[in-house]
Copies of this chain bind each other. A is one copy, B any other.
Amino acid sequence: MLFSPKGRLGIFFLLAAAGLYLFACAGTPKKEQPYEIDVGFCISCHQERTPGLFQSWVESKHAKNGVHCITCHIDHQAASEQKSMVLPEKCGECHRKQLEEFKKARHSISFERMRIQGEYLGIPQEIRAAFCERCHMVEKRCNSCHSSHRFSLKEARDPDACSTCHLGPDHPYKEMYETSLHGTIYKMTQNPERAPRCITCHMPGGSHNSSFGIARGPAGTRSPVVDLKEIPISKEEQERRRAEMLNVCTGCHSRRFAQEQLENADQVKEAGFFLQEEGKKAIEEIAREGLLYPSVAERMPHPTEGRALVLADPQLYVGTSYMERLFFTMFKFHTIRVWKSGYHFSPAYTHGYGWTEMQLDLIDIREESEKLRELFKKEK
| Given known contacts A169-B352, A169-B353, A265-B130, A193 and B147 CB-to-CB distance under 8 angstroms | no
- Assess whether B350 is in contact with A317, with CB atoms less than 8 Å apart: no
Q: In chain A between 136 and 162, which residues have their CB closer than 8 angstroms to a CB of chain B?
A: 147, 150, 154-155, 158, 160-161
A376 to B194 alpha-carbon distance, docked (Å):
61
The number of residues on chain A lying at the interface, defined by a beta carbon within 8 Å of a beta carbon of chain B, is 86
Residue of B nearest to A150 (CB): B194
Contact of A132 among B50, B267, B347 (CB under 8 A): B347
Instruction: Report which residue of A49, A131, A257 has the largest number of chain B beta carbons within 10 angstroms of its beta carbon.
Output: A131
- Assess whether B322 is in contact with A168, with CB atoms less than 8 Å apart: no
Q: Oligomeric state, in number of copies?
A: 3
20 contacts between A and B (CB under 8 A): A49-B250, A49-B254, A52-B251, A124-B271, A126-B267, A129-B264, A130-B347, A131-B347, A155-B185, A163-B179, A164-B181, A167-B179, A168-B348, A168-B352, A170-B352, A293-B370, A317-B359, A325-B360, A325-B363, A329-B360
Please tell me if A238 contacts chain B, counting CB pairs below 8 Å.
no
Residue of B nearest to A157 (CB): B188
CB neighbours of A325 from chain B (8 A): 360, 363-364, 367
A365 to B317 alpha-carbon distance, docked (Å):
14
Contact of A353 among B126, B168, B318 (CB under 8 A): B168
- Assess whether B264 is in contact with A155, with CB atoms less than 8 Å apart: no
A308 to B115 alpha-carbon distance, docked (Å):
46
- Assess whether B52 is in contact with A252, with CB atoms less than 8 Å apart: yes
CB neighbours of A265 from chain B (8 A): 130
